[in-house]
Amino acid sequence: MINLSRAQSIIVNAPLDQPMQVLASAGSGKTRVLTERVRYIIENTKTNGIIALTFTNKAAEEMIDRLENLEELKNRYWIATIHTVAQRILEQYGHTIGLPSELHIYDRDQDRKVIFIQAQREFGVDIEKKLKILDVKNKKRSRRNYTGKTKTILYC
């Protein structure tokens, strides 16, 4: 284990039967504390199925790298972003609520815009009229930019 402050050590070594929330500013060591908490749980229990959620891929990768010396125990924990976990759950169990087996998740604004406009067209909305695009050349450009097959989507 790496050197931790007194406050960080208290969090890492807290009793396992109590939920906790760690709130701290950027750069204060939250990722390190969460990583060491996962290590503590793995080394002090026989618990399987530990999930550590982060907001960024960078934090998830950092945590996985810091736990590389636990490679033989890797099957006991899963470190991922919230979006990754949600996507996997939807892929595995989405059929129970009527979602198709093949989902496409668009996280770029441009992709969302294209899908939105395609859906509007499928419902008979004259997008160019709504956007007050009157010039024939601009109408053609608009239609060319926003054509294609609509897919089932989830917004991130």
What's the CA gap between 65 and 92, in Å, rounded? 27
Domain boundaries, the chain: 6-92, 102-155
Q: Is the pLDDT assigned to residue 96 strictly greater than 90?
A: yes
Residue 55: CB atoms within 10 Å: 10
pLDDT at 155: 42
50 band by pLDDT with thresholds 50, 70 and 90:
confident
pLDDT at 142: 63
Tell me the CA distances in angstroms from 35 to 2, 55, 67, one per residue in order: 11, 14, 7
Tell me the CA distances in angstroms from 126 to 45, 129, 134, 145, one per residue in order: 61, 5, 12, 15
Q: Is the pLDDT assigned to residue 61 strictly greater than 90?
A: yes
Of 3, 13, 93, 120, the residue nearest 129 (C-alpha):
120
What's the CA gap between 131 and 53, in Å, rounded? 41
Higher pLDDT, 27 or 145: 27
Q: Per-residue pLDDT averaged across 142-155, rounded?
A: 51
pLDDT at 14: 93
Are 59 and 31 in contact, with CB atoms under 8 Å apart?
A: yes
143 band by pLDDT with thresholds 50, 70 and 90:
low
Report the range of poorest mean pLDDT among 61-70, 121-130, 138-147.
138-147
Are 12 and 4 in contact, with CB atoms under 8 Å apart?
A: yes
| 3-state secondary structure (DSSP) of residue 153 | strand
Tell me the per-residue pLDDT of 120-132, one tens digit each, with 9 for 90 and over.
888 888 877 777 7
Containing 81, the helix (H) or strand (E) segment is strand 77-81
Tell me the CA distances in angstroms from 141 to 28, 73, 114, 144, one per residue in order: 49, 55, 13, 5
pLDDT at 26: 85
Report the range of poorest mean pLDDT among 65-79, 84-98, 130-144.
130-144
Phi, psi dihedral angles at 53 (to 5 degrees): -100, 135
